[in-house]
Amino acid sequence: MLRNGAGGNRSSHQQKHHGTDPAYATVVVMDLDDAQAVVARHALDDYYVDHYRGMERMYLASLFEYLAEYEPTRVLEIGPGWGTTAAWLVARGHDVTVIDHMPVGKFMAQSLVDELGVAYVHSDIEDAAAPENADLGTFDVVIMTQVIHHLAWRPDRALRHVRELMGERGILVSSVLDRQDYPDLDSAFGGNWMDVPEWRSTERCEDTVKCMYTEQDFRQLLENQFRVVEVWKPTDSTVLFAKSANSSRSRLGRMVELARGFKPVGTRP
Ligand SMILES: C[S@@+](CC[C@H](N)C(=O)[O-])C[C@H]1O[C@@H](n2cnc3c(N)ncnc32)[C@H](O)[C@@H]1O
């Protein structure tokens, strides 16, 4: 299972977290099943195993396939949910921070946070990039999957905050439900992200899904904040993925070449 490094036969969740220290650059070959099994052991109720785990299968394998190209680095995940991606990232040797507006224990269990050694920041990405005293610095890779369509306020505000958390050559990997695969799903503000109310301009809408996206809408939202945007849809998925960056010299340029197997549906140079 272990590919190299100083971890011996310990499994990923038994290892101490050593960030990007090359002396501990243990990379564990963990697949989606393994990551979900780790999370299921800590899940605080049945919802994860009975429902959410099945939903994750529509997109996380594709995400992991893409992220597997990255060497261990500083990664931020915004909206980790139950922590499946975080578990997989830690197993790959990444130094992982997560931000969620829900306190630890709502979705991600404290015991999982402890076992993985991730930094859990309780904060609303729509409010600010991070709490004033958090001193998070910037990240090479930011992941924000299945969060944007739940944002209560116009999503360009949250993405501005995400940009602040990205290093000069950082990359954002995000995803949304593809509207064409959910023709009957009700969204509070329909299919145009600009119709979602501006930050605190009205009462907060509590509907689960605020806005749905086509490939074109998703790209337009991201291009509103980032210079380089590529949207793709993995085969057999109901989710649109995007990678976005602000520098044409970012890792995105190189990753586009490496991301063989994905069919880009739109690229802006
Ligand atoms: C549907 S879950 C997605 C979980 C996981 N990223 C995935 O791809 O399955 C949405 C996650 O985003 C978090 N979230 C939603 N709005 C947020 C906000 N404004 N700031 C930070 N986290 C937020 C939720 O608490 C939850 O963890």
Tell me, using a 6 A CB cutoff, whether residue 159 lines ligand 1. no
SS (H, E, C) 196-244: CCCCCCCCCCCCCCCCCECHHHHHHHHHCCCCEEEEECCCCCCEEEEEE
- Is a pLDDT exceeding 70 seen at residue 171? yes
* Nearest atom, ligand 1, residue 60 CA: 8
Query: What value does the mean pLDDT take over residues 135-163?
Result: 97
pLDDT band for position 267 (cuts 50, 70, 90): very low
- Is a pLDDT exceeding 80 seen at residue 11? no
CA–CA separation, 231 and 263 (whole Å): 9
- Is a pLDDT exceeding 70 seen at residue 24? no
**Chain-wide mean pLDDT for the chain?**
86
Question: In this structure, are residues 241 and 173 in contact, taking their beta carbons and an 8 Å threshold?
Answer: yes
Cα of 127 from ligand 1 centre, angstroms: 14
16-261 folds as Rossmann fold (3.40.50)
Tell me, using a 6 A CB cutoff, whether residue 99 lines ligand 1. yes
- Is a pLDDT exceeding 70 seen at residue 19? no
- The string of pLDDT tens digits covering residues 219-229 is 999 999 999 99
Tell me, using a 6 A CB cutoff, whether residue 102 lines ligand 1. yes
Cα of 124 from ligand 1 centre, angstroms: 10
Residue nearest to atom 4 of ligand 1 (CA): 81
Tell me, using a 6 A CB cutoff, whether residue 125 lines ligand 1. yes
Tell me, using a 6 A CB cutoff, whether residue 120 lines ligand 1. no
- Is a pLDDT exceeding 60 seen at residue 13? no
Residue nearest to atom 27 of ligand 1 (CA): 81
Query: What value does the mean pLDDT take over residues 126-139?
Result: 95
Please give the pLDDT value at position 247: 78
pLDDT band for position 256 (cuts 50, 70, 90): low
pLDDT band for position 16 (cuts 50, 70, 90): very low
